[in-house]
A and B are shown apart, each in its own frame.
Chain A
Amino acid sequence: MSHPEHKDYTGAKFGMWLFLFTELLLFGGLFILYATYLTRYPQQFAAGGKELNVVFGTANTVILLTSSLFAAMAVTSVQKGDRTTTLRLLGLTVLCAAIFMVNKYFEWSAKIHHGIYPGSPRLGSAPLGESVFFGLYYVTTGLHGLHVLVGAGLLSWIGMKVNHGKIHQGDFVTLENGALYWHLVDLVWIFIFPLYYLIL
Chain B
Amino acid sequence: MSTEAAHHILSYRKLTAIWGALLVLTALTVLITRAELGALKVWAALAIASVKSGLVIAFFMHMKYESRPFRIILFVALVTLAIFIGFTFFDVLYR
Instruction: Tell yes or no: A9 within 8 A of B by CB.
Output: yes
A130 to chain B, nearest CB (A): 19
| Measured CA separation A21–B27 after assembly (Å) | 28
B77 to chain A, nearest CB (A): 4
Q: Are A32 and B85 in contact (CB under 8 A)?
A: yes
Number of residues of chain A lying within 8 A (CB) of chain B: 45
Among A14, A25, A58, A190, contact of B52 (Cβ-Cβ < 8 Å)? A190
Mask for B6-32, Cβ within 8 A of A = 1, else 0?
Answer: 010111100110110011001001100
Q: Are B26 and A39 in contact (CB under 8 A)?
A: no
A186 to chain B, nearest CB (A): 6
Q: Are B67 and A10 in contact (CB under 8 A)?
A: yes
Q: Are A186 and B56 in contact (CB under 8 A)?
A: yes
User: Which stretch from A101-109, A140-148, A191-199 is at the chain B interface?
Assistant: A191-199
Which of chain B's residues have a CB closer than 8 A to the CB of A139? none
**Interface size, B (range):** 35 or more
- Report B44-95 residues with CB < 8 Å from chain A CB: 45-46, 48-49, 52-53, 56-57, 59-62, 66-67, 69-70, 73-74, 77, 80-81, 84-85, 88-89, 92-93
Q: A25-B81, A32-B88, A79-B9 are in contact. Are A66 and B1 (CB under 8 A)?
A: no
Complex A-B: 19 CB contacts under 8 Å = A9-B4, A10-B1, A10-B67, A24-B81, A25-B77, A28-B84, A32-B88, A68-B19, A68-B56, A68-B60, A69-B60, A71-B60, A73-B15, A179-B60, A183-B60, A183-B61, A190-B53, A198-B29, A198-B45
